[in-house]
Structure 1
Amino acid sequence: MIEDLPEEMDRKRLGGDRYPLLGRYLKVNFPMAHYPTVLKAIIEGKPYKVRAMFIMGGNPALAIANSSMAVEALKKVEFLAVADLFMSKTAELADIVLPSASWLEYDGLADSAQATYGHLRIRRKVAQVGEARSDTWIMIELAKRMNLKGFWGSEEEYLDYILKPTGYTFKEFDEAGGIIYHEPEVGKRLKKGFDTPSGKIELYSERLKEWGFDPLPFYREPFESPYSTPDLAKDYPFVLTTGRRVPAYFHTAGRNIPGLRDLYPEPLAEINAETARELGIEDGDLVRIETPRGYVIMRAKLTHGIHPRVIGVQHGWEGEANDNRLTDNQRCSEGMGSTTLRGLLCRVRRVAQ
């Protein structure tokens, strides 16, 4: 589908010119717009006005850097539609919310390139409740209503398309219950080489050099650190690391499930025990962590397993515990446009219970 996108449309991809590794040079299947650039275009109307967004299974109000800017943009866009299993913080801002079916409510496929070259059959186990539909059904029906060409007529036609390289139709695959269409071949790369100009693993990337980027990995001091911004570090003396995963959850998902919430009921911030003692913070105290962009409030978890000058916060919580209130999304990496989620400056203090 993406290969049918006209060149003039690809040129309009927000951030594509500034961050050419984001889909253009790397030849990925889904050339992407640059999310921070999209948010900025919604707010400022430049280089053109983004009037509508359709978000499926995503929660940018919490999940992306500088969530305050994300919420501002989501509120400002003229039309926002969201498809999700739950009423997420992003869905709460939408004009229309489409209820998505879970993987137990529809027939489909599952695969894992990390395990083997094969597909597993997902069989529908329960009836779809109310108006819930699969994301595939939603996209196909939306294409029909918009009279878009090149889409499939049904979910089964789409599954046939996915399975086409295997030589199976979905009906044949269903009868087989699952297939391995390509046995793993040990030493394949030794015979055929890698997908690089030399056919070898390249520590020195000829392609990056050709595209105008440094061909070797190198270290660059973060835009905000005790070394690059020493004056700022006087007010924000600690280094923040975000994204601490919680085993019961995946990113922002799962916290509305009572059994999981019982395991991990509240957001935690890891602080070195000696540092906490100097600051008058005890284990279990509520603490306020601030960066130049915002603050979060979490419960302190004292540990000797973190550097004395580092504060670690968990990811995926809502409200005043949302770690992306602390992060920046305008000073991005060269070429790819990634945001800095760690290595930011912060300060911490105890707050009243």
Structure 2
Amino acid sequence: MRIRYPAPLRPGDRVGVTAPSSGVGEQLRERLQVAIRTVEERGYEVVVGECMYGSAHVSAPAAKRARELMKMLTDPGIRAVVPPWGGETAIDLLPLLDWDALRAADPTWVVGFSDMSTIITPLTMLTGVATVHGNNLMDTPYRAPEGLLTWLDIVTMEPGATFTQTPPNRHRARGWDDYQTSPEVSEFTLDTPGRWTRLDGDGDVRAEGRLIGGCVETLCNLTGTPYGDMAAFARAAAPEGLLVYVEAAGHDAATICGNLHGMRLAGFFTGANAVLVGRTQAPGTGSLTQHEAVLDALGGLGVPVIADVDCGHVPPYLPIVNGAHGRVVYTANRNELTQTLGGAPR
């Protein structure tokens, strides 16, 4: 399977906004408007869908959310789709999407993380269309620290482009900004030093492969189904092997340990040349830390396992393109991820 990259966005293009999972409550509408203006200031027209609002766990019934997402993804006038944020149960959309129509449509950039992994990771695995695991719309007003990019930067790149991101070695220790009291916040609070961590041993790491992954708590429900067959994706699209990334949103270490064991048994890490694990604020369980949970489940893979990567629920955000060719470098004084929207970097 050939990975297909959507056309780069240009000023005047349309960006669709819909909530395939949770909607936005009344108290956070002002932040939503700030985020929409951020996209408009880049020169894009924002098209806001009907499945957007409410305080329930979903923005609308599954059939309505699926129709709206399909409409945006198959509309040649909409060049990117981004949700306000994630949620809990986007999994109910998967059997309602017309996967043949998605394969036939011109590729559209789809962006998001958290429960959006439930949509974007199968989209890449089943159709070959590259997607962006990166900031959701409500996070978009934040300025990226030096060394990192935002999804708005990546979707302007031409197929074949290569870019490298390096973490700022600082992150937020706890909590989130209050969008209700500070709807226009645009600077991350990065109050804690911290670098990437190799869990499986010592020594430098230089590994390459096709990038794919997402949120543990949502993807663990897809392994063993047609929507999460990583072994099939590796055979079809990644003869060079994979760089698999995973990140925990909030479940405790014992739960994450079990999730990762199940994913490994279902072949989710088949073909991995290395595993990248996002930094998390999720708690440990008794004597089991989140690092120990990962090592317990994945230490036997025989490949490097690098944790505390800036690709999860802890700011700042290092966007990763599902389907891109990746090259990770981990040394005592250098952490970086290079991505190429095509084959291997030259």
State the TM-score, normalized to the length of structure 2.
Answer: 0.24
Rg: which structure is higher? Answer: 1
Q: Which has the higher contact order (CA 8 A, sep 6+)?
A: 2
State the TM-score, normalized to the length of structure 1.
Answer: 0.24
